[in-house]
């Protein structure tokens, strides 16, 4: 009997140790998957509630930490004083990794004055790291492909269409600029967030009216930055998301960055309004006439330049 009890005890001990090792390996593999999504690499496995809770823990502490970084954000974001008063800010988690992002962006009609920077809570939750764009820069000032609607005069909630592919989330964002009554430009981008910010142009359109004429000279471009005709343009932009899984839209609330006194409260409001599971739909329309027709009367005709 003693031998039987001893054998039973040994057997149970081995099973317990084995099971502990198994669950330890499972937890570690799932942690690897959470991190790999940020790196754009898919690792087999399922993210359980345990690891999700760990990844999304203590949002209040993150918001408090970010609010204490206001002066640092001003120093690292601003290139000169002209950007600061017009800047808008939002708190997001576009890549769904539980570490909040802070987006600061401004715009003054010209693409040369477009200026966007993205910061993210570091992996050890002890720092606010400025993310790099795909071209290696830490600030986007090359074009109007930014995040909030330039056609409004106040902070607002923007809705972005979201797609999923290979474990990464992609967002459809349109950028718009005007250089006066005669010249307008629209560009459509796919943005994704990871260790770096990926940006892929889907298509663009620009219009110009020579002085004294009624023909709207229109140039259309594809994702390869080549000029295309109207048929090629629509074929390109309408087929871009083939192979992606359409997700619910994402709502982001913007506020005025220069409001230092209200920065902490505005951060909380922005985060409360952040909704990655919105049933709303983006109002982005790939028909360039939708954007440009309102500027001109019916007597003006579009002429696409080949």
CA angle 229, 241, 235 (to 5 degrees): 20
Identify any residues that bridge with 205 across adjacent strands, giving them in sequence order: 186, 220
Which tens digit of pLDDT belongs to each residue from 6-34? 434 434 343 333 333 322 332 233 333 33
pTM of the prediction?
0.77
Q: Examine the pLDDT at 79 and tell me if it is beyond 70.
A: no
Higher pLDDT pick, 297 / 111: 297
pLDDT at 154: 54
Mean pLDDT of 150-156: 63
- Report residue 138 as tokens: 């830490």
Please, are residues 294 and 176 in contact by the beta-carbon 8 Å criterion?
no
Mean pLDDT of 220-246: 93
Mean pLDDT of 221-235: 92
**Poorest-confidence range of 69-83, 94-108, 137-151, 270-284?**
137-151
Tokens 């994702």 correspond to: 223
Average pLDDT for the chain: 78
How far apart are alpha carbons 185 and 291 in whole angstroms? 9
Q: Find which of 5-9, 30-34, 48-52, 143-147 is predicted with most confidence, using mean pLDDT.
A: 143-147
Give the whole-number percent of the chain exceeding pLDDT 90.
Answer: 48
Q: Where are the domains of the chain?
A: 49-304
Please, are residues 89 and 102 in contact by the beta-carbon 8 Å criterion?
yes
pLDDT at 155: 55
- Report residue 110 as tokens: 């010209």
């Amino acid at each position: 009997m003693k031998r039987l009890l001893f054998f039973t005890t040994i057997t149970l001990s081995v099973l317990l140790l084995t099971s502990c090792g198994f669950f330890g390996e499972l937890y570690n593999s799932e942690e690897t998957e959470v991190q790999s999504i940020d790196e754009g690499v898919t690792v087999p496995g399922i993210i359980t509630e345990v690891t999700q809770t760990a990844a999304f823990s203590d949002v209040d502490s993150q918001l408090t930490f970010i609010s204490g970084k206001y002066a640092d954000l001003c120093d690292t974001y601003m290139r000169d004083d002209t950007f600061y008063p017009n800047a808008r800010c939002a708190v997001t988690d576009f890549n769904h990794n539980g570490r909040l992002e802070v987006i600061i962006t401004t715009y003054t009609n010209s693409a040369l004055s477009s200026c966007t920077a993205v910061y993210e809570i570091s992996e050890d939750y002890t720092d606010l790291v400025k993310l790099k764009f795909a071209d290696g820069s830490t600030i986007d000032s090359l074009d109007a492909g930014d995040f909030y609607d330039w056609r409004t005069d106040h902070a607002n909630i923007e809705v972005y269409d979201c797609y999923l592919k290979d474990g990464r989330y992609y967002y459809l964002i349109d950028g718009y600029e005007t250089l006066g009554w005669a010249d307008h430009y629209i560009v459509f981008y796919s943005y994704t967030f990871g260790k770096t910010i990926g940006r892929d142009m889907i298509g663009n359109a620009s219009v110009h009216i020579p002085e004294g004429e009624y023909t709207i000279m229109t140039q259309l471009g594809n994702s390869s930055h080549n000029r295309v005709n109207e048929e090629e343009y629509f074929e390109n932009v309408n087929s871009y998301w083939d192979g992606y899984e359409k997700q619910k839209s994402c709502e982001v609330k913007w506020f005025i960055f220069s409001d230092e006194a209200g920065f902490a409260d505005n951060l909380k409001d922005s985060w409360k309004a952040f909704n990655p599971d919105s049933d709303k739909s983006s109002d982005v329309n790939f028909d360039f006439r939708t954007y440009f027709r309102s500027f001109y009367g019916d007597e003006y005709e579009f002429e696409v330049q080949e």
